[in-house]
Amino acid sequence: MPEMTRNYNPIALDGTALYNIGLDSIDPATLGRYRDSLRARKGGHPWLMMTDEEFVEVIGAAERGADGLLHPTGAGLLMFGREPYISNMYPNYNLDYRERYSAERWTFRLQSGSGEWSGNVFDFFTIVVERLSVTAASPFRPEKITGSGRPDALPAASEAIVNALIHSDYNVRKGVVIKIDQENVIVANPGTFRVPLQDAVRGDACCPRNNRMMKMFSLIGLAEHVGYGVYDLFKSERDGAITDVKIEESRNPSRVTVKFGLSPDNALKNIKPTAPPSC
């Protein structure tokens, strides 16, 4: 389906069932981590009592076909799938996280196609945010924030990353790229805004490209402020947590790039490289 048609299709494409593959395309360890996240947030949620097959169906990650079997939806595969299956269905799929804190090209890099981890969206988000919050000397670490009296930059970074993953057009080349250095955060995703940028800045202009993925993130508390992602970034700037927010749209390929600076107190310093967590 051409990009323009996808942009104006009222049905989110991540809700399409992929009847040519089965639930063996879903990584059970990733699904378990997602269920643990739901349990940590809502320990009494009735869906936690379901089997994995019941659970993926009720959250919209799978649908039952005419063959009576469950098949992943686009959202289910992207969020919880095994990378070879994802790349087979979405040839342009790519998740790329880069840190640079020295003269080296990259101090740390995480890529979906490396074969070192699951390569799916949920694990990507989890690993990246974990690095931001626990890596030595990071301004995002909780102990760096508590009692310091300065704004916390982690929510802004997390918001930008979730927005990119929810609004990406995974059929467009180049994929999601996140770059972190000592002074800046850059988050870029394929696809353009589905609402005018000025409306997104004002807030309450929700038109996610991947509606089911948004609901999955919302279920575990990571996309609650629906329609206010861009607004919240500028609010974080006004509050002093981040600086100099810039948002650009480009074409050929279509792309949205969000860039913001870290205040002097929040600048990243002396972060040491580590191996990718096992996922």
Domains contained in the chain, CATH given: 3-266 (3.30.565.60)
Q: Does the N-terminal peptide bond of residue 196 adopt cis geometry, omega within 30 degrees of 0?
A: no
Q: Could you report the per-residue pLDDT of 48-75, keeping only the tens digit for each?
A: 999 999 999 999 999 999 999 999 999 9
Of 10-14, 94-98, 120-124, the poorest mean pLDDT is in 10-14
pLDDT at 84: 98
Contact 71, 17 (CB under 8 A): yes
pLDDT at 3: 53
| Residue 70, C-beta contacts closer than 8 angstroms, at least 6 positions apart | 22, 23, 53, 56, 57, 62, 63, 64
Q: Could you report the per-residue pLDDT of 195-238, keeping only the tens digit for each?
A: 555 555 555 556 678 999 999 999 999 876 555 667 778 888 88
Q: What is the mean pLDDT of the chain?
A: 83
Residue 269 predicted with pLDDT over 90: no
pTM value?
Answer: 0.84
> Best-predicted range by mean pLDDT among 118-127, 140-149, 202-211?
118-127
